[in-house]
Amino acid sequence: MLKIYNTLTRKTEEFQTLEPDLVKMYVCGVTVYNDAHVGHAMSALVFDIIRRYLEYRGHTVKHVMNYTDVDDKIIQRAKQLNEDPLILSQRYIEDYTQDLASLNVLPATSYPQVSKTMPLIIKFIEVLIQKEAAYAAPNGDVYFSVISDKDYGKLSGRKLDDMQAGSRIEVEEAKDHPMDFALWKAAKPGEISWDSPWGKGRPGWHIECSAMNLAELGEQIDIHGGGNDLIFPHHENEIAQTESYTGREFARYWVHNGMLQLGGEKMSKSLGNIVSIKEFLSQREADVMRMLVLNGSYRAPLLFNDDTLDAAQKNVERLKSALRPASASASGLAADAIAALASASESAKTNFTDAMDNDFNTAGAIAVLFELSKFINTARDNSATGEQLKSAQGVFRELSSVLGLKLEEKKGSGDAEAFINLLIEVRAEVRKQKLWALSDQIRDKLKELNVIIEDSKDGTKWRYL
Protein backbone atom coordinates (compact mmCIF):
# COMPACT_ATOMS: atom_id res chain seq x y z
CA MET A 1 0.00 0.00 0.00
CA LEU A 2 1.47 3.29 -1.12
CA LYS A 3 1.64 6.00 1.51
CA ILE A 4 2.30 9.64 0.78
CA TYR A 5 3.08 12.52 3.07
CA ASN A 6 0.44 15.17 2.62
CA THR A 7 1.46 18.74 3.38
CA LEU A 8 -2.18 19.66 3.93
CA THR A 9 -2.67 17.25 6.84
CA ARG A 10 0.99 16.96 7.79
CA LYS A 11 0.53 13.25 7.92
CA THR A 12 1.57 10.27 5.87
CA GLU A 13 -1.60 8.91 4.35
CA GLU A 14 -2.63 5.91 2.32
CA PHE A 15 -2.82 6.83 -1.32
CA GLN A 16 -6.22 6.43 -2.89
CA THR A 17 -7.11 7.80 -6.27
CA LEU A 18 -10.29 9.64 -7.11
CA GLU A 19 -10.87 7.37 -10.07
CA PRO A 20 -9.63 3.79 -10.19
CA ASP A 21 -6.12 3.47 -11.53
CA LEU A 22 -6.00 7.04 -12.80
CA VAL A 23 -3.80 9.64 -11.13
CA LYS A 24 -4.30 13.30 -11.92
CA MET A 25 -1.11 15.08 -11.02
CA TYR A 26 -0.39 18.76 -11.45
CA VAL A 27 3.11 20.01 -10.82
CA CYS A 28 4.05 23.66 -10.83
CA GLY A 29 6.60 24.24 -13.52
CA VAL A 30 8.81 27.21 -14.02
CA THR A 31 8.50 30.84 -14.87
CA VAL A 32 10.33 31.03 -18.15
CA TYR A 33 12.63 34.01 -18.39
CA ASN A 34 16.07 32.57 -17.79
CA ASP A 35 18.10 29.36 -17.84
CA ALA A 36 16.65 26.82 -15.46
CA HIS A 37 18.95 25.81 -12.61
CA VAL A 38 19.66 22.57 -10.80
CA GLY A 39 17.08 23.42 -8.16
CA HIS A 40 14.43 23.26 -10.85
CA ALA A 41 16.02 20.01 -11.94
CA MET A 42 15.61 18.58 -8.46
CA SER A 43 11.92 19.33 -8.46
CA ALA A 44 11.44 17.94 -11.95
CA LEU A 45 13.34 14.80 -11.00
CA VAL A 46 11.38 14.25 -7.82
CA PHE A 47 8.08 14.35 -9.63
CA ASP A 48 9.42 12.32 -12.52
CA ILE A 49 10.38 9.60 -10.06
CA ILE A 50 6.97 9.78 -8.40
CA ARG A 51 5.27 9.58 -11.76
CA ARG A 52 7.40 6.65 -12.90
CA TYR A 53 6.70 4.78 -9.70
CA LEU A 54 2.95 5.38 -9.93
CA GLU A 55 3.04 3.97 -13.43
CA TYR A 56 5.10 1.02 -12.26
CA ARG A 57 2.38 0.37 -9.69
CA GLY A 58 -0.14 0.18 -12.49
CA HIS A 59 -1.65 3.65 -12.52
CA THR A 60 -2.22 5.75 -15.56
CA VAL A 61 -0.83 9.17 -14.77
CA LYS A 62 -2.08 12.38 -16.26
CA HIS A 63 0.86 14.59 -15.50
CA VAL A 64 0.35 18.27 -16.12
CA MET A 65 3.20 20.72 -15.85
CA ASN A 66 2.51 24.36 -16.51
CA TYR A 67 4.64 27.11 -17.88
CA THR A 68 4.13 30.55 -16.45
CA ASP A 69 4.83 32.64 -19.49
CA VAL A 70 3.16 35.89 -18.44
CA ASP A 71 4.72 37.50 -15.43
CA ASP A 72 6.47 40.62 -14.10
CA LYS A 73 9.93 39.18 -14.42
CA ILE A 74 9.36 38.09 -17.98
CA ILE A 75 8.11 41.52 -18.90
CA GLN A 76 11.10 43.10 -17.24
CA ARG A 77 13.59 40.80 -18.94
CA ALA A 78 11.91 41.29 -22.30
CA LYS A 79 12.21 45.01 -21.87
CA GLN A 80 15.94 44.67 -21.18
CA LEU A 81 16.43 42.54 -24.26
CA ASN A 82 14.03 44.64 -26.29
CA GLU A 83 12.14 41.51 -27.21
CA ASP A 84 8.50 40.51 -27.25
CA PRO A 85 7.74 38.86 -23.89
CA LEU A 86 5.93 35.93 -25.44
CA ILE A 87 8.74 35.25 -27.88
CA LEU A 88 11.20 35.38 -25.02
CA SER A 89 9.20 33.00 -22.89
CA GLN A 90 8.61 30.67 -25.80
CA ARG A 91 12.35 30.46 -26.31
CA TYR A 92 12.90 29.49 -22.69
CA ILE A 93 10.09 26.97 -22.84
CA GLU A 94 11.87 25.20 -25.66
CA ASP A 95 15.09 25.50 -23.73
CA TYR A 96 13.64 23.97 -20.59
CA THR A 97 12.01 21.19 -22.57
CA GLN A 98 15.45 20.30 -23.83
CA ASP A 99 16.90 20.43 -20.31
CA LEU A 100 14.27 18.05 -19.04
CA ALA A 101 14.84 15.64 -21.89
CA SER A 102 18.57 15.72 -21.16
CA LEU A 103 17.78 14.81 -17.57
CA ASN A 104 15.73 11.84 -18.76
CA VAL A 105 12.56 13.33 -17.34
CA LEU A 106 9.54 11.80 -19.03
CA PRO A 107 7.42 14.27 -20.97
CA ALA A 108 4.33 15.43 -19.12
CA THR A 109 0.92 14.68 -20.54
CA SER A 110 0.39 18.35 -21.23
CA TYR A 111 2.07 21.70 -20.75
CA PRO A 112 -0.49 24.47 -20.43
CA GLN A 113 0.62 28.07 -20.69
CA VAL A 114 -0.87 31.18 -19.18
CA SER A 115 -0.90 33.04 -22.47
CA LYS A 116 -3.04 30.31 -24.01
CA THR A 117 -5.50 30.06 -21.12
CA MET A 118 -6.60 33.68 -20.99
CA PRO A 119 -10.35 33.28 -21.70
CA LEU A 120 -10.68 30.66 -19.01
CA ILE A 121 -8.73 32.74 -16.50
CA ILE A 122 -11.02 35.68 -17.11
CA LYS A 123 -14.08 33.52 -16.77
CA PHE A 124 -12.70 32.03 -13.57
CA ILE A 125 -12.27 35.49 -12.09
CA GLU A 126 -15.76 36.49 -13.14
CA VAL A 127 -17.20 33.54 -11.29
CA LEU A 128 -15.21 34.39 -8.18
CA ILE A 129 -16.59 37.90 -8.30
CA GLN A 130 -20.13 36.55 -8.69
CA LYS A 131 -19.57 34.38 -5.66
CA GLU A 132 -18.27 37.39 -3.77
CA ALA A 133 -14.94 35.76 -3.25
CA ALA A 134 -13.32 38.51 -5.28
CA TYR A 135 -13.88 42.15 -6.07
CA ALA A 136 -12.82 44.61 -8.73
CA ALA A 137 -11.01 47.59 -7.29
CA PRO A 138 -11.24 51.09 -8.73
CA ASN A 139 -7.62 50.93 -9.95
CA GLY A 140 -8.48 48.18 -12.47
CA ASP A 141 -7.09 45.35 -10.35
CA VAL A 142 -9.18 42.44 -9.18
CA TYR A 143 -8.45 40.98 -5.78
CA PHE A 144 -9.32 37.76 -4.06
CA SER A 145 -10.97 38.39 -0.72
CA VAL A 146 -9.27 36.23 1.87
CA ILE A 147 -11.93 36.77 4.51
CA SER A 148 -14.48 35.26 2.14
CA ASP A 149 -12.62 31.97 2.47
CA LYS A 150 -13.22 30.62 5.93
CA ASP A 151 -10.31 28.20 5.91
CA TYR A 152 -7.79 30.44 4.21
CA GLY A 153 -4.34 29.47 5.49
CA LYS A 154 -5.05 25.80 5.97
CA LEU A 155 -2.20 24.54 3.78
CA SER A 156 0.56 26.62 5.28
CA GLY A 157 -0.90 26.51 8.77
CA ARG A 158 -1.25 30.24 9.10
CA LYS A 159 -3.93 32.40 10.55
CA LEU A 160 -4.85 35.68 8.99
CA ASP A 161 -4.22 37.51 12.25
CA ASP A 162 -0.71 36.12 12.52
CA MET A 163 0.09 37.04 8.97
CA GLN A 164 -1.04 40.60 9.42
CA ALA A 165 1.19 40.96 12.42
CA GLY A 166 4.22 39.69 10.57
CA SER A 167 3.51 41.37 7.30
CA ARG A 168 6.24 43.54 5.88
CA ILE A 169 4.58 44.17 2.59
CA GLU A 170 3.45 47.56 1.51
CA VAL A 171 -0.26 47.17 1.36
CA GLU A 172 -2.08 48.38 -1.68
CA GLU A 173 -4.63 51.02 -0.80
CA ALA A 174 -7.19 49.35 -2.97
CA LYS A 175 -7.24 46.15 -0.97
CA ASP A 176 -10.03 45.48 1.50
CA HIS A 177 -7.78 43.23 3.54
CA PRO A 178 -4.00 43.44 3.53
CA MET A 179 -3.65 39.79 2.61
CA ASP A 180 -5.95 39.99 -0.39
CA PHE A 181 -4.04 39.10 -3.50
CA ALA A 182 -4.36 40.06 -7.14
CA LEU A 183 -6.29 37.90 -9.56
CA TRP A 184 -5.99 40.46 -12.29
CA LYS A 185 -3.52 43.30 -12.62
CA ALA A 186 -4.31 46.40 -14.63
CA ALA A 187 -1.76 46.99 -17.38
CA LYS A 188 0.81 49.70 -17.03
CA PRO A 189 1.50 51.74 -20.16
CA GLY A 190 3.38 49.78 -22.79
CA GLU A 191 2.97 46.43 -21.07
CA ILE A 192 1.66 43.33 -22.73
CA SER A 193 -2.01 43.03 -21.90
CA TRP A 194 -5.29 41.30 -22.63
CA ASP A 195 -8.78 42.75 -22.75
CA SER A 196 -11.03 41.93 -19.83
CA PRO A 197 -14.24 43.16 -18.20
CA TRP A 198 -11.95 45.21 -15.91
CA GLY A 199 -9.96 46.79 -18.68
CA LYS A 200 -6.63 45.85 -20.17
CA GLY A 201 -4.43 43.80 -17.92
CA ARG A 202 -2.99 40.41 -17.15
CA PRO A 203 -3.51 37.66 -14.59
CA GLY A 204 -2.01 37.69 -11.12
CA TRP A 205 0.47 35.04 -10.18
CA HIS A 206 -1.76 32.32 -8.74
CA ILE A 207 -4.90 32.31 -10.82
CA GLU A 208 -3.28 30.69 -13.86
CA CYS A 209 -2.63 27.48 -12.01
CA SER A 210 -6.20 27.29 -10.74
CA ALA A 211 -7.52 27.87 -14.24
CA MET A 212 -5.12 25.51 -15.97
CA ASN A 213 -5.81 22.80 -13.42
CA LEU A 214 -9.49 23.11 -14.08
CA ALA A 215 -8.97 23.06 -17.82
CA GLU A 216 -6.62 20.11 -17.88
CA LEU A 217 -7.71 17.91 -14.99
CA GLY A 218 -11.11 19.08 -13.76
CA GLU A 219 -12.39 20.24 -10.41
CA GLN A 220 -10.54 17.72 -8.28
CA ILE A 221 -7.10 16.26 -8.65
CA ASP A 222 -5.13 13.60 -6.86
CA ILE A 223 -1.71 15.13 -6.46
CA HIS A 224 -0.59 18.70 -6.53
CA GLY A 225 3.13 19.16 -6.40
CA GLY A 226 5.91 21.69 -6.39
CA GLY A 227 8.79 23.02 -4.32
CA ASN A 228 8.05 23.69 -0.66
CA ASP A 229 8.77 27.34 -1.22
CA LEU A 230 5.47 27.43 -3.09
CA ILE A 231 3.38 26.37 -0.11
CA PHE A 232 2.83 29.98 0.76
CA PRO A 233 1.55 32.02 -0.86
CA HIS A 234 1.22 30.25 -4.20
CA HIS A 235 -0.46 26.99 -3.28
CA GLU A 236 -2.37 28.51 -0.42
CA ASN A 237 -3.90 30.97 -2.85
CA GLU A 238 -4.54 28.31 -5.44
CA ILE A 239 -6.58 26.32 -2.96
CA ALA A 240 -8.49 29.41 -1.95
CA GLN A 241 -9.32 30.27 -5.54
CA THR A 242 -10.22 26.82 -6.74
CA GLU A 243 -12.24 25.78 -3.71
CA SER A 244 -14.12 29.05 -3.74
CA TYR A 245 -14.87 28.41 -7.39
CA THR A 246 -15.87 24.76 -7.16
CA GLY A 247 -17.05 24.49 -3.59
CA ARG A 248 -15.21 21.18 -3.37
CA GLU A 249 -11.91 19.89 -2.08
CA PHE A 250 -9.23 20.67 -4.64
CA ALA A 251 -6.24 18.33 -4.39
CA ARG A 252 -6.21 15.16 -2.31
CA TYR A 253 -2.47 15.09 -1.71
CA TRP A 254 -0.18 18.07 -1.59
CA VAL A 255 3.37 16.96 -2.24
CA HIS A 256 6.32 19.29 -1.82
CA ASN A 257 9.99 18.71 -2.45
CA GLY A 258 12.73 20.23 -0.31
CA MET A 259 15.12 22.85 -1.55
CA LEU A 260 18.50 22.26 -3.06
CA GLN A 261 21.20 23.71 -0.85
CA LEU A 262 24.34 25.26 -2.19
CA GLY A 263 26.89 26.11 0.47
CA GLY A 264 24.35 25.66 3.24
CA GLU A 265 21.83 27.96 1.65
CA LYS A 266 18.94 27.51 -0.66
CA MET A 267 19.87 27.98 -4.28
CA SER A 268 17.90 30.89 -5.62
CA LYS A 269 18.01 33.66 -8.08
CA SER A 270 17.99 36.35 -5.46
CA LEU A 271 21.02 34.85 -3.69
CA GLY A 272 22.84 34.52 -7.00
CA ASN A 273 24.22 31.10 -6.13
CA ILE A 274 22.94 29.38 -9.22
CA VAL A 275 24.21 26.49 -11.28
CA SER A 276 22.22 26.08 -14.45
CA ILE A 277 21.15 22.68 -15.70
CA LYS A 278 23.24 23.19 -18.79
CA GLU A 279 26.35 24.02 -16.78
CA PHE A 280 25.79 20.95 -14.69
CA LEU A 281 25.34 18.65 -17.67
CA SER A 282 28.50 19.95 -19.27
CA GLN A 283 30.38 18.58 -16.25
CA ARG A 284 28.49 15.47 -15.22
CA GLU A 285 26.03 13.04 -16.67
CA ALA A 286 22.32 13.24 -15.96
CA ASP A 287 22.34 10.10 -13.81
CA VAL A 288 24.56 11.89 -11.29
CA MET A 289 21.98 14.59 -10.63
CA ARG A 290 19.30 11.96 -10.38
CA MET A 291 21.40 9.86 -8.02
CA LEU A 292 21.93 12.88 -5.81
CA VAL A 293 18.17 13.21 -5.53
CA LEU A 294 17.61 9.49 -5.07
CA ASN A 295 20.15 9.22 -2.29
CA GLY A 296 18.25 11.71 -0.19
CA SER A 297 14.65 12.07 0.74
CA TYR A 298 12.63 14.26 -1.52
CA ARG A 299 11.14 16.35 1.27
CA ALA A 300 14.43 17.22 2.91
CA PRO A 301 16.95 19.85 1.87
CA LEU A 302 19.47 18.40 -0.55
CA LEU A 303 23.14 19.29 -0.32
CA PHE A 304 24.64 20.11 -3.68
CA ASN A 305 28.42 20.35 -3.60
CA ASP A 306 31.50 18.62 -4.96
CA ASP A 307 31.56 16.05 -2.20
CA THR A 308 27.96 14.96 -2.56
CA LEU A 309 28.24 15.01 -6.35
CA ASP A 310 31.43 12.95 -6.37
CA ALA A 311 29.77 10.39 -4.14
CA ALA A 312 26.71 10.33 -6.38
CA GLN A 313 28.91 9.79 -9.40
CA LYS A 314 30.63 6.86 -7.71
CA ASN A 315 27.25 5.44 -6.84
CA VAL A 316 26.24 5.58 -10.47
CA GLU A 317 29.45 3.84 -11.53
CA ARG A 318 28.82 1.18 -8.97
CA LEU A 319 25.33 0.47 -10.23
CA LYS A 320 26.64 0.29 -13.76
CA SER A 321 28.97 -2.49 -12.73
CA ALA A 322 25.98 -4.77 -12.22
CA LEU A 323 25.05 -4.51 -15.87
CA ARG A 324 28.42 -5.50 -17.26
CA PRO A 325 28.41 -8.69 -19.28
CA ALA A 326 29.52 -12.08 -18.09
CA SER A 327 33.04 -13.23 -18.73
CA ALA A 328 33.47 -14.77 -22.16
CA SER A 329 35.14 -17.79 -20.62
CA ALA A 330 32.48 -18.26 -17.94
CA SER A 331 32.01 -21.88 -17.03
CA GLY A 332 28.68 -21.51 -15.35
CA LEU A 333 27.24 -21.37 -11.84
CA ALA A 334 26.32 -24.24 -9.61
CA ALA A 335 22.63 -24.92 -9.18
CA ASP A 336 22.43 -23.55 -5.65
CA ALA A 337 24.11 -20.32 -6.73
CA ILE A 338 21.62 -19.95 -9.55
CA ALA A 339 18.79 -20.39 -7.09
CA ALA A 340 20.35 -17.86 -4.72
CA LEU A 341 20.58 -15.28 -7.47
CA ALA A 342 16.96 -15.88 -8.46
CA SER A 343 15.77 -15.47 -4.92
CA ALA A 344 17.86 -12.32 -4.51
CA SER A 345 16.10 -10.87 -7.54
CA GLU A 346 12.71 -11.70 -6.15
CA SER A 347 13.37 -10.15 -2.78
CA ALA A 348 14.87 -7.13 -4.48
CA LYS A 349 11.54 -6.47 -6.17
CA THR A 350 9.64 -6.81 -2.93
CA ASN A 351 12.05 -4.68 -0.95
CA PHE A 352 12.09 -2.07 -3.66
CA THR A 353 8.32 -1.75 -3.60
CA ASP A 354 8.25 -1.71 0.19
CA ALA A 355 10.70 1.17 0.25
CA MET A 356 8.98 3.17 -2.46
CA ASP A 357 5.55 2.57 -0.95
CA ASN A 358 6.79 4.34 2.14
CA ASP A 359 6.42 7.88 0.83
CA PHE A 360 8.83 7.26 -2.03
CA ASN A 361 11.78 6.23 0.09
CA THR A 362 14.25 6.36 -2.76
CA ALA A 363 17.28 6.05 -0.51
CA GLY A 364 15.92 2.69 0.60
CA ALA A 365 15.16 1.73 -2.98
CA ILE A 366 18.69 2.58 -4.03
CA ALA A 367 20.05 0.43 -1.21
CA VAL A 368 18.05 -2.46 -2.67
CA LEU A 369 19.76 -1.92 -6.02
CA PHE A 370 23.17 -1.91 -4.37
CA GLU A 371 22.38 -5.19 -2.70
CA LEU A 372 21.21 -6.76 -5.91
CA SER A 373 24.26 -5.50 -7.74
CA LYS A 374 26.42 -7.21 -5.17
CA PHE A 375 24.66 -10.51 -5.86
CA ILE A 376 25.01 -10.08 -9.60
CA ASN A 377 28.67 -9.15 -9.39
CA THR A 378 29.42 -12.05 -7.11
CA ALA A 379 27.69 -14.39 -9.52
CA ARG A 380 29.73 -12.99 -12.37
CA ASP A 381 32.93 -13.35 -10.35
CA ASN A 382 31.91 -16.95 -9.76
CA SER A 383 31.77 -17.56 -13.47
CA ALA A 384 28.08 -17.11 -14.20
CA THR A 385 27.24 -17.16 -17.90
CA GLY A 386 25.43 -14.37 -19.65
CA GLU A 387 22.34 -16.52 -19.76
CA GLN A 388 22.50 -17.09 -16.02
CA LEU A 389 22.87 -13.39 -15.29
CA LYS A 390 20.16 -12.35 -17.68
CA SER A 391 17.16 -12.58 -15.42
CA ALA A 392 18.72 -10.80 -12.43
CA GLN A 393 20.13 -8.12 -14.67
CA GLY A 394 16.69 -7.74 -16.18
CA VAL A 395 15.19 -7.11 -12.76
CA PHE A 396 18.01 -4.71 -11.99
CA ARG A 397 17.41 -2.86 -15.22
CA GLU A 398 13.69 -2.74 -14.61
CA LEU A 399 13.97 -1.32 -11.10
CA SER A 400 16.63 1.21 -11.97
CA SER A 401 14.55 2.47 -14.85
CA VAL A 402 11.60 2.97 -12.49
CA LEU A 403 13.88 5.46 -10.81
CA GLY A 404 14.76 6.89 -14.20
CA LEU A 405 18.41 5.89 -14.14
CA LYS A 406 19.87 5.18 -17.53
CA LEU A 407 23.12 3.57 -16.43
CA GLU A 408 24.58 3.77 -19.88
CA GLU A 409 28.25 3.27 -20.51
CA LYS A 410 29.56 6.38 -22.14
CA LYS A 411 30.08 6.33 -25.83
CA GLY A 412 32.76 8.02 -27.81
CA SER A 413 32.98 8.42 -31.53
CA GLY A 414 32.98 5.23 -33.58
CA ASP A 415 36.27 6.28 -35.13
CA ALA A 416 38.05 6.41 -31.81
CA GLU A 417 36.91 2.90 -30.95
CA ALA A 418 38.84 1.31 -33.78
CA PHE A 419 42.03 3.03 -32.66
CA ILE A 420 41.52 2.12 -29.05
CA ASN A 421 40.98 -1.50 -29.97
CA LEU A 422 44.13 -1.36 -32.04
CA LEU A 423 46.11 0.03 -29.10
CA ILE A 424 44.78 -2.70 -26.88
CA GLU A 425 45.82 -5.36 -29.36
CA VAL A 426 49.29 -3.92 -29.47
CA ARG A 427 49.37 -3.71 -25.71
CA ALA A 428 48.36 -7.35 -25.43
CA GLU A 429 51.41 -8.25 -27.51
CA VAL A 430 53.60 -5.98 -25.39
CA ARG A 431 52.27 -7.68 -22.26
CA LYS A 432 53.04 -11.10 -23.68
CA GLN A 433 56.61 -9.96 -23.90
CA LYS A 434 56.36 -8.70 -20.34
CA LEU A 435 57.29 -5.15 -21.30
CA TRP A 436 55.41 -3.83 -18.30
CA ALA A 437 56.67 -0.26 -18.43
CA LEU A 438 55.44 0.22 -21.96
CA SER A 439 52.21 -1.59 -21.26
CA ASP A 440 51.54 0.60 -18.24
CA GLN A 441 52.39 3.68 -20.22
CA ILE A 442 49.71 2.85 -22.77
CA ARG A 443 47.24 2.34 -19.95
CA ASP A 444 48.15 5.62 -18.26
CA LYS A 445 48.03 7.62 -21.46
CA LEU A 446 44.63 6.21 -22.35
CA LYS A 447 43.40 7.08 -18.90
CA GLU A 448 44.39 10.66 -19.52
CA LEU A 449 42.05 10.46 -22.50
CA ASN A 450 39.29 9.11 -20.22
CA VAL A 451 39.61 5.56 -21.47
CA ILE A 452 39.79 3.05 -18.65
CA ILE A 453 41.54 -0.24 -19.28
CA GLU A 454 40.88 -3.29 -17.16
CA ASP A 455 42.85 -6.51 -17.61
CA SER A 456 41.26 -9.79 -16.72
CA LYS A 457 41.73 -13.47 -17.32
CA ASP A 458 39.94 -13.46 -20.59
CA GLY A 459 41.40 -10.39 -22.11
CA THR A 460 41.37 -6.66 -21.67
CA LYS A 461 38.23 -4.60 -21.47
CA TRP A 462 37.93 -0.88 -21.78
CA ARG A 463 35.31 1.77 -21.25
CA TYR A 464 35.01 5.51 -21.27
CA LEU A 465 35.16 7.27 -17.94
Partner RNA sequence: GGCGUCGUGGCCAAGUGGUAAGGCAAGGGUCUGCAAAACCCUCAUCACGGGUUCGAAUCCCGUCGACGCCUCCA
Burial state string for 436-463 with b = 16 or more CB within 10 A and e = fewer than 16? eeebeebbeebeeeebebeeeeeeeebb
Q: Which is nearer to RNA, 26 or 124 (CB)?
A: 26
Q: Which residues make beta-bridge pairs with 65?
A: 27
DSSP per-residue codes, 229-273: GGIIIIIHHHHHHHHHHHSS--EEEEEEEPPEEETTEE--TTTT-
Classify each residue of 119-157 as buried b or exposed e, where b means 16 or more C-beta atoms within 10 Å of its C-beta: ebbbebbbebbeeebbbbbeebbbbbbbebbeebbbbee
Region of 61 on the Ramachandran plot (φ > 0 left; ψ -120 to 50 alpha; else beta): beta
CB 460 within 8 A of CB 453: yes
Euclidean distance between CA atoms 56 and 44, whole angstroms = 18
Q: Which residues, at least 6 apart from 266, have a Cβ–Cβ distance to it below 8 Å? A: 39, 229, 259, 260, 301
Task: Choose among 240, 307, 305, 291: nearest CA to 406.
Answer: 291
Q: Of 9 and 139, which CB lies nearer to RNA in the complex structure?
A: 9
**Nearest CB to RNA, comparing residues 140 and 233:** 233
Q: What Cα–Cα distance (Å) separates residue 178 from each residue in 163, 165, 175?
A: 9, 11, 6
> Cβ(273)–Cβ(22) under 8 Å?
no
Instruction: Output phi, psi for 224, to 5 deg.
Output: -120, 125
359: left (phi over 0), alpha (psi -120 to 50) or beta: left
Residue 178 sits at the vertex; the CA angle it makes with 176 and 183, to the nearest 5 degrees, is 70
CB of 247 to RNA, least distance (A): 26
| Least CB distance to RNA at residue 115 (A) | 16
* Nearest distance in Å: CB 300, RNA: 5
Nearer to RNA, 61 or 292 (CB): 292
- Least separation in angstroms between residue 401's CB and RNA is 18
Compare residues 248 and 457 and give the one whose CB is closer to RNA. 457
Of 206, 201, 70, 66, whose CA–CA distance to 128 is shortest? 206
Nearer to RNA, 126 or 371 (CB): 371
Minimum Å gap between C-beta 30 and RNA is 4
Q: Which is nearer to RNA, 131 or 410 (CB)?
A: 410
Closest CB 426 distance from RNA, rounded Å:
13
Smallest distance, RNA to C-beta of residue 226, A: 4
At residue 373's C-alpha, the angle toward residues 367 and 378, to 5°, is: 135
In angstroms, give the least distance from the CB of 435 to RNA. Answer: 9
Least distance in Å: CB of 136 to RNA? 20
Whichever of 126 and 301 has its CB closer to RNA, that residue is: 301
The alpha carbons of the chain give a radius of gyration, in whole angstroms, of: 27
CB of 150 to RNA, least distance (A): 18
Nearer to RNA by Cβ, of 129 and 259: the residue is 259
Please identify, using beta-carbon distances, which residue of 266 and 278 lies nearer to RNA.
Answer: 266
